[in-house]
Every structure is written in structure tokens, then in C-alpha cells.
Structure 1
């Protein structure tokens, strides 16, 4: 028999799509030979590994599933003994490999083999010869490999496979999964928690919620967790009540943040997003650990906290309380700006402060001006940070307005930045600062004719516009009412966040704006005549290639905006 199987490994690896069915049929014919032995079955089980990364289409995988089902029904004990270790080996390799679409799909294929094995060898038979520990750990590892990729459709498909199998085998045999998971050390990896979460979802769906209450568990980690693992634990975390969170989850998070905040800080938000309890008091408790000064050393973690502060601007606080809250935020961010030297962290801190200016309902806060005056010429203020300072002030004036005294103090500084940009038209960072400063002057209604001429001649030169950074693009976006060429440029910007479609619609939605729409349409014709229209997707913020390219979708959005006048 083994002689007949000798050429099978080569055939499996070299067979075309049409020949794969014949290879699988040949294996089945050998397995149906009278006098088949255990080594032959073991050999065939090992051959399945060769197909995992080669047979990637559904038809080829259906051949492999039929072979696994045949093995499970005709050679049950030998197959369980040989295939379960193979599945465990595959699962450990996939779990310990960096997540990717290919790894996720391989995990799905192997998980499907395990469910076919269960339905063929365990469903309608006694439990003798079944190594549940190997089976459950294999499936847990495969679930972790699938979940780590973060594709909810593939995660749902994995759940659907297991749910169907668990319903088929019944509650008594399903208890073996819970027993194995509870006997496994919680710190052995995220696969335990992810599998518990899948079990919670299954038990809820079949109406066995009381089983969940018996086995709630909090899993600890010693390395930075993959956020997709925490998303995969949503069904488990949603089962926790306020007592569980207060008595078990909060102490674990406090301990982790005291010991190593860099490990856990990015996971805190994802954990709390999955909870199904009122967080008013609990959020304050968890915030106390984040406030500890000097604990965060990684710039990425500092930026994560600053982004969280920016999100808090959505709190439903109004009037005097809103102003008082802004002053507190500004005071804390001022400390960051004084002590921080990392450029990107400084830019994010300024962006956070800028976002808080929206909705204050009062004139520009003096605290904001004090920060601007104090730090604009600091040693840590690079050209990119100066641009952010100008952008922050321009956005603040636009959102809040400025008193005459504030306008008098700001005009010289902003005018100086515009003049500097006019003198250095080839320095793109300087020009970006000038664009943001000019936006501030526009909001203050202080742009003199000389400065407007400089803006038109230098700041809106085609090469400068093409090289303008995000902040410069946003500043141009906010100037569309007065700068038609700037309007045309930003309507066709590569980044959707900068494109001014809605602003142009609002600008043209009046009868007396038909002439403006006509002039903009003529400018659009000039762009189309250049012929530089590509069929690519819109650029994302991380896509630096092909900057300045115009796609058909951009042209369509632009035309729709130009047709908005009534």
C-alpha cells in the first residue's frame, strides 16, 4: 500500500486544478484497499499539510474535505490518532506567524478540516480514542490566527463553522471544550479568551446563558495585545456586569498600567468599547491610572492618549462649563507643549487643542493666545510645528472669532509668516505656514491688497499647490470663498479629507453665484485638457505615490458640486 502512495506527494504538489480530483480519488482508492494499515493512514494525514498553502480555491478544498470525511468515517481511530497532532502542529505555526490575509485563509481551511473530522468521527460515536485536549487547543489556535487578521467576515465564517458543529454534537460533548479551556493556564495566550468568547456567543444563541455565568474569567497579558484579539473577545466582555468590571477587570487594568503602561494603554479603549455596562464612575477610575505623570515613554502611546483627549471634546458640556473644561484641557496640553520635543507628538497635541476650540461659543480664549505667543519661537518648534501653531490659531479664530485686541496682537505675527512665504516660494514647509497664516488673516478680515497679491503670485503657484502638505491643504480648503484657484485645487485634492466638495456646494447654492460656477467650470476644463486623469482609487493619507493625480471619481464629484447653484 505504501508503495502505491509513494508518488502521491509529488502529484499533490504538481497537479493542475483539473488533475487534483484524480489525485484525491487515487488516494481514496488506496485507502479502500483491503488490508490497509495504520502507517498508510498516518502517511495520508501528513500529506494534507502539503495542500494547505497550495489548494486555495473552493473546488480543490472541497476535494480535501471529502477526503477528511472519508478518513473520519472509514478509519476513525487511526485518523483521530494521526490527524489531531497534524492539526495542532499547523495551528501553532499559523498562530505564531505574523498575521496576513493568506495566514487567515489557511487558518479557515484547517479549521474546516477539524469540523469535518468532528462531524465524521465524534458526532455519532462514543468518546473513546478522542484527544479533546489536542482538538480544542488546535481549534483555539486556529481561531486566534483568524481573529488576528481583523476581517470580521472571516471571523464570522469561523464562528459559523464551529456553531454548526457544536449544535450537531450536542451539549454533553460541548462541555469538553469548556473543561479543556478552563484547565489551560490563562496566560498561555489570547487563543483561550478568543475561544471563550466564541463559546459565549454560541451559548447565547442556543439559550444557555446560565452556563456563561459559571465560567467568567479575566485573561492577563505580558506583551502588547493585538487589538483584533480584543475585538474577538467582544462577546465575552459584553457578559461582564458592573461588579465583574469593578472587582476583576479594573484591578487587572490598574495593575497592568502601573507595571507597564505601554503594554496595555492601547488596549484599554478597545476593552471598554466591548463592555455592556454604565461607565460613568468606572471611566474616572480607569482615568486615574492614565494621569500618572512620567509613565509613558513611547511617542506612540503619548499620541494615543492625546487622541483620546481630542475625542473627549464630544462630551455634552455647554456654556460656562464648556469654557472651564477647555481651560483645563489647555492648561494640561500647555504642559505637554512645554516639556515635549518629539515633533509628531507636538503636532498631535496642537491638533487636539485645535479640535477643542470648536463649539466654545465665546471669543478666542486668552489661554490659546498665550500658548501661541510663548511657544512659537521655542527651540523645539520646528517648521512643521510652526505650521500647526498657525493652523491652530486660524481654526480658533474661525470657530470663535477674535476681539479687536486679539486681532491687533495676531496680525503682525501672521503677516510676518505670509511675507516670509512670499520671499521663500521654493520652501514648501514655509509656504504651508504662510497659507495657514493667510487663512488667519482672512478670518480677521485683515488681508491687505499687497498680501493678497503675494498670495496669488506665490502661495497659489501650481507647483506650490501640488506640494502643499495636509495642513496647507486644509487651510486652502477653508479659504475657498475668496480664492477661486485655491478652490479648484482643493476640489481635486488627492486626499478626500481635504477635498472641498461640501464647501463648494454651499458657496454656489445661490442664484447670484452663477458667474463663479461658470469660472470654476472653465478652470475644470483646463484640468481636463491636460489629460492627466487616472483610473486609480482615491488616495489615502498613507498613500504618497501619485500625488497630484486626478481620477474620474474626483472629476465626477467636482462636476456635481459645480451644478449645485439654484
Structure 2
């Protein structure tokens, strides 16, 4: 990078750091547009990428209006296109520690709002950085899907109905445009450490498959889905949050009477004896 160009980039980034959290929507849009032009086609050092990610996180609880969020998403898209690997490595993990994830408590409106803002960023990364089935593997891909599952659990638990519909459309559009992607999502989620936090995103996957009559994909993962439900929801030592219980219904609707009798009923009976307050809705 030439010295004069490097100086321009440095000045732009400094202005962005100062104005990104401005209360003025006009100022936000101006500085984000300036950032877009600055980073387009540039190969920025990784420390700069990390710094930008930290600044992006600051917007999650500040940008409440659609115009600011659209402008930010547009800037992030340009950055992802310019440096896909660096963004995929640095942006998603930090979303788990920037105040948009509830820790052991029911998600609230504040965390859910931040998660609603962050999820479209992650969908951008999926679309641009992981466009083909061949590269949807490895640590970065797994971490990205894990982060999405945690963020969606926040949205399902604390966001308004309209916000949840908007995020659901975002995922549905992504899966519809990329045949086979929803199958890979389910495989990846089921390969992670078992947690009931994955249930909302898995439920959304199942709902998508149901709507598109892709019963083969559901049947492919049904045994693993039921195993996850039994171990993380039915046998949970603490009562799962209501939104987890509700999203479990998407998976349970595809269970046959025989599967219920053989796989769920014995466990349910044990759970009722051990912790009836956790097992009964």
C-alpha cells in the first residue's frame, strides 16, 4: 500500500472510530459510506480488521434505526468481499462476548435487538466466504454456525414477532438460494457439543425443510435430532427456557408414534419421576 494511500486509510479509520457511535443517523451514514470507499479492494492488516470488528460491535446496542443498520451492513459486505478470510476469522467469535448473549438467563429485548442486528452480518459471511459445499467445513465454518445458533436463540427468546420473522426470512433466503445448505447446517449443528441452544436454529432448519417438502433431509437427521432433544431438553437438570421448549416442537412434529413410544416415552417417564418440575410444561 502506497504511503499516501496508507495515510488516507489511516485518517478514514480514525474518523470512523470517532463517529461510528454518533447519535446522528446522517453522520453514521456518511462515515460508513466513507469507510466503504476506503476499504474497497484494500488488503488491510489483521490488527486493523480486529479493530474494525470491535467498532462494529459497539453499534449493536446503539443502532436502533433501519437506515443505520442497512448502511452498516453495506459497509461490512464490502469489507467481507475485500478480505473474506480475515473477517470470517475475526468477526463471528467476538459476537459472543460483546453483550448480545444472555448468560444462563432468559434473553431480553436488549440482547435480542443486538442479536437481530448481528445475524445478517453472519449470513453475509456465509454467502460470500462459504459459497460452495466444499469449503463449508473446518473450525471457521463450525464457529460461524455455532455463533448463529446462539444469536438466534437470543432472538427467539427476546425479540418481537416481526423481528423474528425478519431473521427467519434472512435464513430462508440464504438456504433457498443455496441448495443443500440447510442440510449442511443441520450436520454442522449436530456435530457441535450438544446444547439446547442449538434447538432454535435446528427447529428453523426443520421448518424450512417442511415448507419445501424436503422430508428426506429431516429423516436423514431425525435420529440425531431426537437424541439431542432427549439429552439437552428432556433430561436437563434445570428447566429449559420456554423458547427452547417451543422450538422443540418443530422437531417433534416429525416423530412417529413408534419413535415416541420407543425413544421418548421411557426417558420422559424417568424425567417425570426425577424432576417433574423440569419435565412438565
Range of TM-score over shorter length: 0.7 to 0.9
Corresponding residue for residue 101 of structure 1: 109
Contact 1:12 1:20 in 2 (8 A): yes
Q: Report the Cα distance in structure 2 between the residues aligned to 1:35 and 1:193, rounded to whole angstroms.
A: 38
What's the CA shift for 1:60?
Answer: 0.3
Corresponding residue for residue 491 of structure 1: none
Q: Report the Cα distance in structure 2 between the residues aligned to 1:141 and 1:121, rounded to whole angstroms.
A: 20
1:159 and 2:158 correspond: no
Alignment counterpart, residue 186 of structure 2, candidates 153, 173, 178: 178
Aligned CA distance change for structure 1 residues 35 and 203 (closer, same or farther; 3 Å): closer
TM-score between both structures, scaled by the size of structure 1? 0.43
1:65 and 2:73 correspond: yes
Match runs of 1:382-421 below 5 Å? none
Contact 1:140 1:195 in 2 (8 A): yes
Q: Secondary structure at the match of 1:233?
A: helix
1:228 and 2:243 correspond: yes
1:22 and 2:30 correspond: yes
Contact 2:240 2:278 in 1 (8 A): yes
Q: Report the Cα distance in structure 1 between the residues aligned to 2:240 and 2:203, rounded to whole angstroms.
A: 16
Q: Secondary structure at the match of 1:36?
A: coil
Greater relative contact order structure (CA < 8 Å, 6+ sep) = 2
What are the ranges of 5 or more consecutive residues in structure 1 without an aligned counterpart? Answer: 268-566
Alignment counterpart, residue 39 of structure 2, candidates 31, 36, 49: 31
Aligned CA distance change for structure 1 residues 103 and 93 (closer, same or farther; 3 Å): closer
TM-score between both structures, scaled by the size of structure 2? 0.83
1:209 and 2:215 correspond: yes
What's the CA shift for 1:242?
Answer: 0.8
Q: Secondary structure at the match of 1:13?
A: coil
Contact 1:9 1:47 in 2 (8 A): yes
1:81-132 CA distances to partner (integer Å, 9 max, x unpaired)?
A: 1212223445873465542223222211111111122223223696289711
Corresponding residue for residue 3 of structure 2: none
1:206-255 CA distances to partner (integer Å, 9 max, x unpaired)?
A: 23211111222332322112222221222211111111211122222212
1:55 and 2:70 correspond: no
What's the CA shift for 1:54?
Answer: 0.3
1:1-34 CA distances to partner (integer Å, 9 max, x unpaired)?
A: 5743234333112351111111112222331375
Corresponding residue for residue 239 of structure 1: 254
Corresponding residue for residue 506 of structure 1: none
What are the ranges of 5 or more consecutive residues in structure 2 without an aligned counterpart? Answer: 1-5
1:333-365 CA distances to partner (integer Å, 9 max, x unpaired)?
A: xxxxxxxxxxxxxxxxxxxxxxxxxxxxxxxxx
Instruction: Give the structure with the higher percent helix.
Output: 2
Match runs of 1:122-521 below 5 Å? 122-123=130-131, 127=135, 131-149=140-158, 151-171=160-180, 173-186=181-194, 188=195, 190-216=196-222, 217-218=225-226, 219=229, 220=232, 221-265=236-280, 267=281
Aligned CA distance change for structure 1 residues 70 and 126 (closer, same or farther; 3 Å): farther
In the alignment of these two chains, the number of paired residues is 263
Aligned CA distance change for structure 1 residues 199 and 90 (closer, same or farther; 3 Å): farther
The CA RMSD over aligned residues, in Å, is 2.5
Aligned CA distance change for structure 1 residues 178 and 129 (closer, same or farther; 3 Å): closer
Corresponding residue for residue 554 of structure 1: none
Aligned CA distance change for structure 1 residues 177 and 88 (closer, same or farther; 3 Å): farther
Aligned CA distance change for structure 1 residues 191 and 208 (closer, same or farther; 3 Å): same
Q: Report the Cα distance in structure 2 between the residues aligned to 1:159 and 1:95, rounded to whole angstroms.
A: 23
